Amino acid sequence: MGATDDLLGELQHVVREGKATADPAPYDDPMSLYEEDPNVRVRKWLQGVWRGRGSVTPDFWRLHFVVLVEGQPVGMQDLIGDQFNTFGTVVSFSWLSTDLRRQGIGTEMRHAILHLAFAGLGAVEAATEAFLDNPASNAVSRAAGYHENGVAWATRRGEPGLMQRWRLTRDDWIGQQRHDIELLGITECKETLGLS
């Protein structure tokens, strides 16, 4: 579901309680999920989402979705397009409450966002990254059909580390496309993003 203020309000307790963090930490993200003070953490997380909403242009956008399990908000899955009209490439970013990890939910989240990217928005390829010492995140990418695509440096909590880069082409996605995912509001979404 799109990250409405109501859903974000229901999800705040997960962020406040520190259940949005991971070990090892993912790369530094504008949502600042690693602030020590719970109130600052929630505020910066909300500001990151709101900033994403307010800076949508045809050249750059970040779509924020709240993940629901049995009707309860438990995490987020984002889709980012940087010069999408030129390259057709998207990047994903996600987090899931610590008490629901290792149950296959992360893989389901990734399949859903890839369906939006390829079937809904017409992406040419999808990319993602995870630190080399984050086997769970890298396993989700591998399970979703991505191929390793080199490494890159990034920071987490201000410290440098090597990230495994992943790439999934449209052809590879079509070969394993799911047919049990329904997309709603695609026409309106594409109009907002400036996609033809």
pLDDT of residue 134: 87
Q: Which two tokens stand for residue 94?
A: 């996600």
20, 34, 77, 147 from 98: Cα distances, Å: 7, 14, 15, 26
48, 79, 80, 91, 119 from 113: Cα distances, Å: 19, 7, 10, 10, 10
pLDDT of residue 98: 87
pLDDT of residue 153: 94
6, 127, 144 from 107: Cα distances, Å: 25, 15, 7
172-186 pLDDT, tens digit each:
999 999 999 999 999
pLDDT of residue 65: 96
The domains located in the chain, with CATH, are 5-193 (3.40.630.30)
pLDDT of residue 27: 53
Sites in the chain below the pLDDT cut of 50: none
pLDDT of residue 31: 59
